[in-house]
Amino acid sequence: MTGRAALLTGGAALCVALSVAACTEPGEPASAPPSTTTPSPPPPSPSSTPEPPPETEEPTPAPVPVTLAFAGDVHFEGALRDRLADPATALAPVTSALAAADVAVVNLETSVGSGGTPEPGKRFTFQAPPSAFTALAAAGVDVATMANNHALDFGRGMLPSTFAAMAAEPALAVVGLGNDVDEAFRPALSDVEGTVVATLGATVAATDPTADPTGHWAATSRMPGTADAVDPARLLRAVRAADDDADVVVVYLHWGVQGESCPSPGQRSLADRLVRRGADVVVGSHAHRLQGDGRLGDGYVAYGLGNYAWYTPSPGGTADTGVLTLTVQPPATREGRAVVSDADWEPARIGTEGLPTPVAGEAARRFEADRTRLRDCAELKD
């Protein structure tokens, strides 16, 4: 519970007490006039000091709306690797929409650190140096989830270097990966002028039949790893706990089936359960394509944010991308729910250098038409 929510409750109670004290019962007779045998008190002399008016509680202002920006998969393979020679500018030229938001979140689709060996039998293994965290922070990203099917591409043996790199970049919070399961499911808490935004990361990529098996990467009580939500019980508990402590709850999931533009039944079911449990915003990636976004019950869901900074764009749809910025009105009381009042995409397309470039004109109109189609496919509301 935030201090502002507590003030609203206390202020409301005080206003009620003041209003009750000032009321009279209907039909109550007016006070009798002074007796003619008792002289009225003399009027106050000019030097008398009038009594001050009773103090009144100032109305508590409504919480200020916050902006949350989301983008999809980011890594530093291929042409993107050389950009880490200068982490301060590696992504910054194309991330103004992320930097402009109060809280910006992406999926970091790679292992980070040094050492280790590639996962045996895995078709695609990605690894980035610790400067990847610096590059994200410099680009205006506040939170990165590493709950995905590439965070441990080079094994658990390199995780100490990952955690050391995370600690060395305090401007970036990393979720979905931890020294144990409790840490992996721990949310990042961002304070925006008194509004607390909790962001959790989790993966169910192990359920995708097109992906290499990664369920054994799950963190346990004694082993580091990812926040695995194939069994969603722990994630649902984490969301409920976050809802008790934060004003806005965000869940970023790695889910769905690669190459699919419509969400799977598993995605839809989990999204519904998360919203019912208290998540205000549910977003995700893994399909490498955009999927529908819109309203689901009391929450807002963006099933697939696609790629964002990616080494292999193709004309088949994996190059279509963008930044989704949500304007969220925090609840006025702890019993209320945050409400997404506006959803705005900055459409973009990934070029041969792996970076997204915003599009306009006919390309932007086509993006919006595709967005409507994808929303219908996902059975979400505008």
Look up tokens 């919006």; give the residue: 368
Name the token pair of 75: 């890594």
Query: Is residue 344 scored above 90 in pLDDT?
Result: yes
Rounded distance between C-alpha atoms, residue 173 and residue 70, angstroms: 14
Query: Is residue 43 scored above 60 in pLDDT?
Result: no
Q: Looking at residue 4, what is its pLDDT?
A: 26
Give backbone dihedrals phi and psi of 302, rounded to 5 degrees, phi first.
-125, 100
Which has more pLDDT, 129 or 35? 129
Q: Kindly state the average pLDDT of the residues 22-48.
A: 38
Q: Looking at residue 334, what is its pLDDT?
A: 74
Q: Kindly state the average pLDDT of the residues 172-196.
A: 97
Name the token pair of 35: 């007796």
Which has more pLDDT, 275 or 10? 275
Q: Looking at residue 53, what is its pLDDT?
A: 60
**Please, are residues 254 and 217 in contact by the beta-carbon 8 Å criterion?**
no
CA 46 to chain centre: 63
Query: Is residue 30 scored above 80 in pLDDT?
Result: no
Query: Is residue 320 scored above 80 in pLDDT?
Result: yes
Query: Is residue 227 scored above 90 in pLDDT?
Result: yes
Q: Looking at residue 131, what is its pLDDT?
A: 98
Rounded distance between C-alpha atoms, residue 67 and residue 307, angstroms: 21
**Residue 328: Cβ within 10 Å count:** 27
Query: Is residue 125 scored above 90 in pLDDT?
Result: yes
Give backbone dihedrals phi and psi of 176, rounded to 5 degrees, phi first.
85, 5
Q: Looking at residue 316, what is its pLDDT?
A: 66
The residue count for the chain: 382
- 1-15, 125-139, 266-280, 366-380: the lowest-pLDDT one: 1-15
The domain ranges of the chain are 66-378
Q: Looking at residue 24, what is its pLDDT?
A: 33
The fold adopted by the segment(s) 66-378 is: Purple Acid Phosphatase; chain A, domain 2 (3.60.21)
**Please, are residues 65 and 328 in contact by the beta-carbon 8 Å criterion?**
yes
Q: Looking at residue 56, what is its pLDDT?
A: 60
Rounded distance between C-alpha atoms, residue 220 and residue 224, angstroms: 7
Helix extents (H) in the chain? 3-21, 96-100, 131-138, 159-167, 181-184, 233-245, 265-277, 361-378
